[in-house]
Amino acid sequence: DAMVIQNPRYQVTQFGKPVTLSCSQTLNHNVMYWYQQKSSQAPKLLFHYYDKDFNNEADTPDNFQSRRPNTSFCFLDIRSPGLGDAAMYLCATSLYLDEQFFGPGTRLTVL
């Protein structure tokens, strides 16, 4: 089945230790998104790639970076995680800006 895959599902890191979350898709969608969702809150868009074009949300901290080496893969890099970065990170894809298909998420714990 076509799907959005996120690895790992659970990630534990130490304060200040860089971490990378990965997302892959078999839907051949041209748009990929990264969201941060904290407990009982709405998903918050961090950035998205429209094809190869990177679009950063204005309030996304510089600590968060992203890479999209090809259509299928997208990475979220957190350069120096703080305690406030503990959250669920959701990857999603869409064909143009239509309905989005979400992965299961990666839950990040910062110790």
Partner 1 sequence: SQQGEEDPQALSIQEGENATMNCSYKTSINNLQWYRQNSGRGLVHLILIRSNEREKHSGRLRVTLDTSKKSSSLLITASRAADTASYFCATEGNTPLVFGKGTRLSVIA
Tokens of 12: 């534990």
**Toward partner 1, which CB reaches closer, 71 or 79?**
71
Q: What's the closest the beta carbon of residue 31 comes to partner 1, in angstroms? A: 8
Tell which residue, 11, 41, 14, 38, has the closest CA to residue 23: 11
Instruction: For residue 39, give the DSSP letter.
Output: T
Output the CA torsion sign for 75, 80, 83, 85. Answer: negative
Q: What's the closest the beta carbon of residue 21 comes to partner 1, in angstroms? A: 13
Q: Is 12 in the site for partner 1 (CB under 8 A)?
A: no
Which span (14-22, 40-48, 61-69, 71-79) binds partner 1, by CB under 8 A?
A: 40-48
Residue 47 to residue 55: CA distance in whole angstroms:
6
Which residues here bind partner 1, judged by CB under 8 A? 4, 6, 31, 33, 41-45, 48, 55, 88, 90, 92, 97-105, 107
